[in-house]
Amino acid sequence: MSHETFLTHAIDLALTHSADGRNGPFGAVVVRDKQIVGQGWNQVVSSHDPTAHAEVMAIRDAGKQLGTHQLKDCTLYTSCEPCAMCLAAIYWARIPTVYYACTMEDAGAAEFDDGVIYDELTQPWAKRRVAGVNLLRDQGQAVFKAWHKNPGRVQY
């Protein structure tokens, strides 16, 4: 099983699951030891879940299959270069390598303009389209203080 084989599987998922026009044309698989351990496709519209991108779904599936939130020894194959949400999810999952077919430019040309969100994330709140308001900071910090006093806490 080559990288091309796994990436083709991700592309096939994108094609198959978007055929009815409901799910966006994106697919992904997570692979460990040359075995597919997770797969996903865009289900944003069909499942009323804006976070249900192909990569996120594949990561969730792999975590469930393997019984862990850390996928350090896995590789992700995706039909399109990950958006900012999915790339951040890849970092949180500790996946070291991503193979992708379409580029972000291809996605933009296909009217999936992921570049805008990357740009927004680099801005301070004052320049973002989303407004951010900081309130009750002391009350929030008390949660972290309680966490650090908890001897049973799981670090990750």
Binders of its own copies among 110-149, rule CB under 8 A?
110-111, 116-118, 120-122, 129-137, 139-144, 146-148
Q: Cβ contacts of residue 132 below 8 Å, gap of 6+?
A: 125
In the complex, minimum distance from the CB of residue 60 to its own copies, in angstroms, rounded to a whole number = 5
Which of 30, 88, 115, 124 is in the footprint of its own copies by CB under 8 A? 88
111 is catalytic: no
Total residues interacting with its own copies, rule: CB under 8 A: 93
Cα 132 from Cα 130, distance rounded (Å): 6
In the complex, minimum distance from the CB of residue 114 to its own copies, in angstroms, rounded to a whole number = 9
Q: Tell me which residues in 63-82 interact with its own copies (CB under 8 A).
A: 63-64, 66-71, 79-81
The amino acid at residue 26 is: F
Please report whether residue 39 would count as binding its own copies according to CB under 8 A. Answer: no
In the complex, minimum distance from the CB of residue 33 to its own copies, in angstroms, rounded to a whole number = 18
Please report whether residue 58 would count as binding its own copies according to CB under 8 A. Answer: no
Please report whether residue 15 would count as binding its own copies according to CB under 8 A. Answer: yes
Residue owning tokens 């796994």: 6
Beta-strand runs (E) in 12-92: 27-32, 35-41, 75-80
Instruction: Compute the chain's Rg from CA coordinates.
Output: 18
Residue 38, φ and ψ in degrees, nearest 5? -165, 145
| The two three-digit tokens of residue 140, written as one number | 């929030």
Cα 38 from Cα 62, distance rounded (Å): 4
Pairing of strands 97-102, 75-80: parallel
Please report whether residue 107 would count as binding its own copies according to CB under 8 A. Answer: yes
Which of 1, 9, 21, 30 is in the footprint of its own copies by CB under 8 A? 21
Please report whether residue 31 would count as binding its own copies according to CB under 8 A. Answer: no
Q: Among all residues, which ones are annotated catalytic?
A: 55
